[in-house]
Amino acid sequence: SRVISYECCPGYEKVPGEKGCPAALPLSNIYETLGVVGSATTQLYSDRSNLRPEIEGPGSFTIFAPSNEAWAALSAETLDSLVSNVNIELLNALRYHMVNKRVLTDDLKHGTTLNSMYQDLPIHIHHYPNGIVTVNCARLLKADHHATNGVVHVIDKVIATTTNSIQHIIETEESLETLRAAVAASDLNSLLESEGQYTLLAPTNEAFEKIPRETLNRILGDPEALRDLLNHHILKSAMCAEAIIAGLTMETLEGTTLDVGCSGEELTLNGKPIIANKDVLATNGVIHFVNELLIPDSAKTLFELAQESEVSKSMDLFRQAGLSSHLTGSEQVTLLAPVNDVFKDGLPVVDSNMKNLLLNHIVRDQLSSKYLYHGQKLQTLGDKELRVFVYRNNLCIENACIAAHDKRGRFGTLFSVDKMLTPPSGSVMDVLKADHRFSTLVAAIQSAGLTENLNRPGTFTVFAPTNEAFRAMPQGELNKLMGNAKELANILKFHVAEEILVSGAVSALVRLKSMQGDKLEVSMKNNVIHINKEPVAESDIMATNGVIYAVNSVLQPHASRPQERGDEPADPALEIFKQASALSKVSQRNPRLAPVYSRLLARMKENSGGF
């Protein structure tokens, strides 16, 4: 919830009858200004520690003054240690909040370091793109309150001196013992003690203990995976908690990103409220303690990748088939895993055939989808060769199209696909001959002399009429068609395109040029493929030289429906007839056109063998 309140800026006051706060007050010194801007506690402690004469006197100072709430938020132990020794501890603490010159917000650039008035120890400034300014990770609340001897900025925390690097804090913090050993094993010590500005999301001992022992031992024993794991916890710049806001994406040293959200009052990383202790400042950055390990994809096995994806049912299949060793070891493979929706009616029975099929979902070599290209051949563990098809709206391997961004693990890559893959087996003719639904079509192809065409290497899409489709034709028309080899070949060629189009590439409408020359229109309606507005009975029957769609009707080329054509020459006799008909009507009104009409009739007789 938000509360909007209106108050005069410090140094201004209201005037009865006037809008806003138009009256400017005379400037006061820093000590008096502290009481006006909401930092009366700082004013009080300045008096007790004998800092008051300095900030009342001549000079040009900047003080980052903790608000009253900031002092109240200190632990009793910390506050007691300060006020019990006001002349040393409290005075030094206050002088660390001061700079011996006037510094306005325009001077508070990101990454700036200011020398404090306590032993010149540095004060770290961060100015983030969202407009937030922090001073040693304390947020700037009220800025640029001018005084006669300087300027006052109000901050939301009491800041402490920083003298230790990130590495030194790891070495001395008991709750980071496991992290300490991991950093040493990965040779990141020098980075974390070097100059720079980093953010370490430091996993506590508790975070490591939550990981299954087998997984943790595997990562700790693999130098590359361990380094990726630790780099995934290091950000490239210092990010104080005040600057980490919901909706932010932060880039890690590994090159991956972490998504920031919120759950109630708590910040979340990748959806989990895991930040346990914020803003432990170091000389070279800031540390946030986290109570869960953030394992990057690059340190995971394929099975671990799948646990966070929509392919858990596929993993059950591979496990039942005894193929886990391929997905958990150091074998470099790419897994084509169907998404869970593919198995909404239940998992198939795992027998020898299913095991062989699943082996053909595992491709040799660790691939990345962005490097796949059209026509590429992939070898599977089942010794099958799979083809890659690149379309305008999809990337497919055989009939299965990639449904999500691939996840690249330590040794394997996970491709989530939209269906079970069907490896090709035999040419188009081999597939048609092996399926009893196409016996009439096979006979027709042989009769038309097209067998060799559909056996040769190529890229065909065949819309194959089933026996039912031929039976649906009038018997006389069917007999006539089967008895005319030339016409039969023409009809059959209209059912074949010389490019491969799998169903996953069809969105609204795709047009293919048939071997006969006319266009075929392939569309998707209610998740059913249609060819020339006729529904397809079965899609994606894969062959080594193409793909087959079973259709329950014989498609008619446009030449059989001349009235629908406008882009091809029509029958000469028909054109003559149309002209003759038109001229007949005109000649009745205009005698001079009668000879032209007579000549057209003569041409019709010549073309028709007598009309």
- Letter for the amino acid at 265? E
What's the rounded mean pLDDT across residues 145-154?
96
What pLDDT score does 4 carry?
Answer: 85
What pLDDT score does 602 carry?
Answer: 53
What pLDDT score does 5 carry?
Answer: 80
- Give pLDDT tens digits for 452-482: 999 999 999 999 999 999 999 999 999 998 8
**Partners of 528 in the beta sheet?**
525
When the pLDDT of each residue in the chain is averaged and rounded to a whole number, the result is 88
How far from the centroid of its chain's Cα atoms is residue 244's Cα?
Answer: 21
Phi, psi angle pair for 542, to nearest 5°: -85, 140
What pLDDT score does 262 carry?
Answer: 76
Question: How large a percentage of the chain has pLDDT more than 70?
Answer: 91
H/E element, 520 = strand 519-525
pLDDT band at residue 111 under the 50/70/90 scheme: confident
Q: How far apart are CA 161 and CA 76, in angstroms?
A: 19
Residue 44, CA atoms < 13 Å, CB-side half-sphere: 9
pLDDT band at residue 583 under the 50/70/90 scheme: very low
148-185 burial, b at 16+ Cβ within 10 Å, e below that, comes to ebbbbbbbbbbbebbebbbbebbbebebbebbbebbee
Q: How far apart are CA 583 and CA 100, in angstroms?
A: 106
Can you tell me which residue has the tokens 């209209």?
494
Can you tell me which residue has the tokens 């080329």?
557
260 within 8 A of 267, measured Cβ to Cβ: yes
What pLDDT score does 268 carry?
Answer: 80
For the purposes of burial, counting CB atoms within 10 Å of the CB of 555, is it exposed (0-12), middle (13-18) or buried (19 or more)? buried
Tokens (6 digits) for 207: 């975070």
Residues 6+ apart with CB under 8 A from 124: 112, 113, 135, 136, 137, 162, 238, 281
What pLDDT score does 334 carry?
Answer: 97
What pLDDT score does 32 carry?
Answer: 95
What's the rounded mean pLDDT across residues 560-578?
42
Q: How far apart are CA 479 and CA 496, in angstroms?
A: 22
Residue-by-residue DSSP string for 175-209? GGHHHHHHHHHTT-HHHHHSSS-EEEEEE-HHHHH
What pLDDT score does 307 carry?
Answer: 82
Kindly state the DSSP code that residue 25 receives in the 8-state scheme: P
pLDDT band at residue 560 under the 50/70/90 scheme: low
Q: How far apart are CA 364 and CA 387, in angstroms?
A: 13
Q: How far apart are CA 245 and CA 94, in angstroms?
A: 30
What pLDDT score does 565 carry?
Answer: 37
122 within 8 A of 140, measured Cβ to Cβ: no
What's the rounded mean pLDDT across residues 273-298?
90
pLDDT band at residue 570 under the 50/70/90 scheme: very low
State yes or no: pLDDT of 258 exceeds 80.
yes
pLDDT band at residue 384 under the 50/70/90 scheme: very high
What pLDDT score does 274 carry?
Answer: 74
Residues 6+ apart with CB under 8 A from 115: 99, 100, 121, 122, 123
Tokens (6 digits) for 330: 């150091």
Q: How far apart are CA 332 and CA 410, in angstroms?
A: 9
- Give pLDDT tens digits for 592-606: 445 544 554 454 445
What's the rounded mean pLDDT across residues 121-135?
91
- Give pLDDT tens digits for 337-348: 999 999 999 999
What pLDDT score does 593 carry?
Answer: 44
Q: How far apart are CA 444 and CA 493, in angstroms?
A: 11
| Largest Cα–Cα separation, the chain | 128
pLDDT band at residue 11 under the 50/70/90 scheme: confident
Q: How far apart are CA 375 and CA 378, in angstroms?
A: 10
Structural domains of the chain ordered from first start: 23-155 (2.30.180.10), 166-296 (2.30.180.10), 300-417 (2.30.180.10), 428-551 (2.30.180.10), 572-606 (no CATH)
Higher-confidence residue: 583 or 211? Answer: 211
Residue-by-residue DSSP string for 275-305? EEEEEEEETTEEEEEESS----GGG--HHHH
How far from the centroid of its chain's Cα atoms is residue 16's Cα?
Answer: 58
Question: How large a percentage of the chain has pLDDT more than 90?
Answer: 72
- Letter for the amino acid at 193? E
State yes or no: pLDDT of 323 exceeds 80.
yes
What pLDDT score does 217 carry?
Answer: 93
398 within 8 A of 546, measured Cβ to Cβ: no
pLDDT band at residue 50 under the 50/70/90 scheme: very high
What pLDDT score does 597 carry?
Answer: 43
Strand segments, DSSP code E, in 236-375 are 249-251, 257-263, 266-269, 275-282, 285-290, 333-338, 362-364
State yes or no: pLDDT of 607 exceeds 70.
no
